[in-house]
Amino acid sequence: MLLKVVKISALIAITTCTLNAGSFNTQAEKDKQALVTYMEAKFKDADKNRAFFPYSSDDELKNNFSKNIKEKDFALGSYAFNSRGKSQYDDIKEMPPYEDAIDAGEELYGKKFANGKSFKACFPKTDIAGNYPYFDDKKGAVVTLTAAINDCLVANGEKKWGEKKGNMAKLQAYFAFQSQEAGKKLDIKIDSQAAADAYERGKKEYYSQRGYLKLSCASCHVQGTGQRVRAEYMSPLLGQVTHFPVFRLKWNSLGTLERRMTGCNKDQGENPHKPNSKWMKELLYFMAYMSNGMAVDGPDIRK
C-alpha cells in the first residue's frame, strides 16, 4: 500500500497543470497534500516500512522511531521521528543558546537609522515571519525576508547586511519569535500566473540532480528522509522552513535559511548559488509552500 502511495505522490510532485484565473495554487496544493500523505504514511510505523530505512538497525526501527507522526509534527525536523534525539533537543531547549540573539534583534528593530527612521517604517508589524517569501507582481520576483530587510536598509540610506548570519539572523530571530508568540502560521500565497511559474521553477530545482554527486534536494529530504548520514538523520521537506533562523551546534551561531541552503549546495558537490539570487529565492518559495499552514516555531536549534 505504501509503495502505491509513494508512486502516486511522486507522480503528483512532478506533474504540472494549466492554471486558470483564481486557482493559481491548484498544483501547489496537490503537491503539498501529496507530500503530507507520503510523509505520514512513511512514518506511520518505520519498523513495518523498513524498506525505506535500509541502513537502520532493528533496534532503531523498533525503539527509536516514533510512530503515527502527523503533519504538524514534522516542524521538528528529524526530531519528529528520532525519539532519542528529541530527548537531547528538549534538554537544550531548556536554556536555548539563541535567546540573546532575540534580544539583540529587538534592539536592531528599534535602532534609528541615520535619517531618523527605523525598521518599523518598513515593518510596522513584527509577527511577519510566516508571510515570507512572497511573489511581488510589480517586481516580477520572489521577495524573501532577507531581501526585504536589505531593501529596507538601502531605502533608508544604510548599507546592506550579510545574508547568512550576524545582524540579519538576529533581526529574523526577533521576527520569528514574535510570530511564534502570536501563534502565526506560514501563509504563502500563489495568486498569479507569474507566481505559479516561479513556484514551478523552484520545484524543478528541488527535484533536479546537480553537482558532481548527482543529488537533488529531494534525494535527502523526501526519499532519504529518516536515513542517516553518519550519526544524523536527514530531515523532511515537510516543515523544513518553519524553524529558521536556526542555531546550529555545528556553526555555534545563528544562521538564516540562505546560510543553510548554500551549505546544502556544497554538500551536493555544487558551487553554491548566491543567497540573493533568483534561483535561491524561487527554491525557498517552493520549500515554504510545502510547509504552508504549519506553525512558525523559529528560532530553533539543529545540529
Catalytic residues, which ones? Answer: 264
The span from the CA of 65 to the CA of 84, in Å, is 9
Give the sign of the dihedral formed by CA 112, CA 243, CA 213, CA 203.
Answer: negative
Grid cell digits, residue 195:
507566481
Residues in the chain: 303
Give backbone dihedrals phi and psi of 248, rounded to 5 degrees, phi first: -90, 130
Do residues 259 and 164 make contact, with C-beta atoms less than 8 angstroms apart? Answer: yes
Of the candidates 170, 146, 152, 143, which has an alpha carbon nearest to the alpha carbon of residue 246? 170
Backbone angles phi, psi at 247, to 5 degrees: -95, 105
230 Cβ contact list (under 8 Å, min separation 6) = none
Dihedral in degrees, nearest 10, Cα atoms 281, 227, 297, 171: -50
Q: Measured between alpha carbons, how far is 198 from 190 in angstroms, rounded to an integer?
A: 9
Helix axes 26-42, 278-289, angle to 10 degrees: 60
